[in-house]
A and B are shown apart, each in its own frame.
Chain A
Amino acid sequence: MLLTRQLKYSYDGQRSLRFPDIQCGTGEHWLLLGQSGCGKTTLLHLLGGLLTPQQGEVVLGETNINSLSASQLDKFRGKKIGIIFQNPHFVRALTVGENMALAQQLAGIPVDKNRIAHLLERLGLGHKINVKTNSLSQGERQRAAIARALVNRPEVILADEPTSALDDTNTAEVVRLLEETASEVNATLLVVTHDGRLKEKFKNQIRLDG
């Protein structure tokens, strides 16, 4: 379960952003829609613990993540939250498989190479396991990012504009895989986007107005 209460954040010298309270049940899939500049990414960073709100709180399961210390939050994020960004970034010196293993090591959980191989297979990247990430296509990169976000069986998956750089075919594919794999680990999925193509694919929607 993911919920927020009276979140407020302001960047230096700018008017503060207030966010509507969110409540997403365990295993539910939500779409958060909003135009560019309305604070979607800020909200996602607040939910993922990358930013600390000036006011309000984010609760994930039983944990108020804003009450965690910095290092606790880092570990918590690594274990419980999977984040997928608009442009996926990887450690370029490592292969796809090594990047996923690194995600497990950084989160402090044992490396499970069966899990990694299985996930990559599931996402159609089984043959790319020993390939450096810069040789992947845009669609493959996004799928690899999904695999990495899921490798630690997180409770929440946050996706920030995961389809904005993809064509229709890849978009449909990525959304399908996101939903399927999130369901497989019973994770709460929250997709933040302004991409109209996703509207009809999600039943639960939140509209964010600037």
Chain B
Amino acid sequence: MAKWLNGFYATAIQPSNHLTIMNLLKLSWKNLLHKPLNMALSLVLFALGVGLISLLLNLNHQLEENFNKNLAGIDLVVGAKGSPLQLILCSMYHVDNPTGNIPLEKSRAFLNPKHPLIKLAVPLSLGDSYHNYRIAGTTYDILELYQATLAEGNLWTNDMEVTIGAVVAEALHLHIGDTFKSSHGLVEGIEEHEHDFKVVGILKPTGSVIDQLILTTTESIWESHEHQSSVSSPQSTVGGGERSENPELASGPQSTAGGGEDSTAIVDEHDHAGHTHTTTPPTSYDSLTLRKLGEEQRLSLMERTDKDITSILIKYRSRTNIQSLNMGRNINEYTDLQAANPPIEIARLQTNLGVGADALKMLAWVIVIVSGLSIFISLYSSLKERKYELAVMRVMGGSPGTLFQLIILEGLLLAGLGYLLGIVFSHLGLAFLANFMEDSFRYSFSAWRFLKAEFWLLAGALAVGFVAALLPALQAGRTDISETLAEG
């Protein structure tokens, strides 16, 4: 590159004894630089088209990938009646509000570990958040669903203890031992709840939506809500009393005071207190233990028939079982609950989004074609200005093929540079969008990953450049040198 700038010596220093493609390429480049404004116009137009296409390709790809990653093998989502897409967006992607609550009395059957059709059921109690990160009351089953493991600390065990996803920890600078108050809804600042949540553990990053969740016990959600409503209705039970109703469920806070901050303390506590198995955080997190603990948590939830949860994520034992396949329909037809099928709803969503994306992509291709036209026009008009110098190149020994190649190279160079510029634009745009996407759609987004489709886009761009240069190049090759030079 620096050689090009070195003026005359760059060309002169070449030891080649004929006009190589490299030399021609340099000449093309200098010809383009000689008309910087023309070049800039063609480049910007081309970059705009390529950039838009690349942006769409990347957005589409990453959205699809994120959607698919977060499908996490979930076969069915059971929740309150309403829009099935909303239920899924809320329960699986955590971008929408719940459709409502479902009473455990009616949904407890799905939580039963002995259910003949259900392999895994994850109850979710949603509705609160902290700095836009959603707090989910759930069981350890959610860890199996998203293949999540602990990075440090412990799993949530007692009420008001939370284990947070990696993104939450990083974004909010939360550490083990920190406490915070939740707020109602997914938006910050609306009616803060009184109780403090305490961070006891942080999960390793998984790339799925669990990275962005704050996990706690279902009871904690109930408690923070009940506590609030207790102000208006004193007869409703409050935290401590509630727990005592169900000693199997959770221990009193006094028994785990300081617990969760380090695991040795908990082991000790287990030895001392040791009255129930669910009160202490697990010291071993192998999948069998987790499943066992999760099932125990579900069993205890099943007894709380007076309470509500938001939804249940379900994985079938067998996807080919006819009864499993009918389960969703049966729920929708014969119960007050709603069952939504994630693959179907997401496919529908993608089809709808896809139509928009396709239209935009068409538009972007139109821009690319127009920019090809601009390359054509700029090369064609430059031929008129350059006809003498092209004729002189013939006089100096250049063949018609040389001139043809020269103009083609100019077209390809414009297209290639326009492509590069467009790709840089698009990925800068993606980097810019990445923050926004993460905040509002719970997507982790990588701006500097390149798709195979972008290499095809390069081929397409070069093809446009070639076609745009073809006619001018043929014209240049056909220059009648005698006639041209006789004129001037």
Contact = CB atoms under 8 A, between A and B. Distances in A.
Contacts of B481: 50
B392 A94 contact: no
Interface of B: 7-19, 23, 27, 30-31, 33-34, 386, 388-389, 391-402, 481-482, 485-486, 488
Contact of A105 (B7, B16, B388, B482): B16
Interface in A102-141: 102-103, 105-111, 113, 116, 129-130
Given A71-B399, A110-B15, 5 more contacts: A50-B395, A89-B488, A94-B11, A98-B7, A106-B397
A45 B7 contact: no
A182 B83 CA distance: 92
Contacts of A113: 8-9, 12-13
Interface stretch (A54-62, A74-82, A169-177, A191-199): A74-82
A92 B393 contact: no
A97 B7 contact: yes
Given A75-B397, A102-B393, A87 B12 contact: no
Contacts of A85: 485
A110 B11 CA distance: 11
A7 to B, nearest CB: 14
Contacts of B395: 48, 50, 77-78, 83
A206 B34 CA distance: 43
Given A50-B485, A74-B399, A97-B8, A102 B13 contact: no
A70 interface: yes
Nearest to B14: A111
A97 B13 CA distance: 11
10 contacts: A70-B399, A78-B398, A89-B389, A89-B488, A92-B386, A93-B27, A94-B11, A106-B398, A108-B17, A130-B7
A71 B481 CA distance: 14
A91 interface: yes
Contacts of B33: 93
Interface string A60-75: 0000000000110011
Contact of B488 (A87, A92, A96, A107): A87
A87 to B, nearest CB: 5
Most buried by A among B11, B15, B488: B11
A69 to B, nearest CB: 10
Nearest to B34: A93
B479 to A, nearest CB: 11
Contact of B27 (A45, A70, A102, A107): A102
A4 interface: no
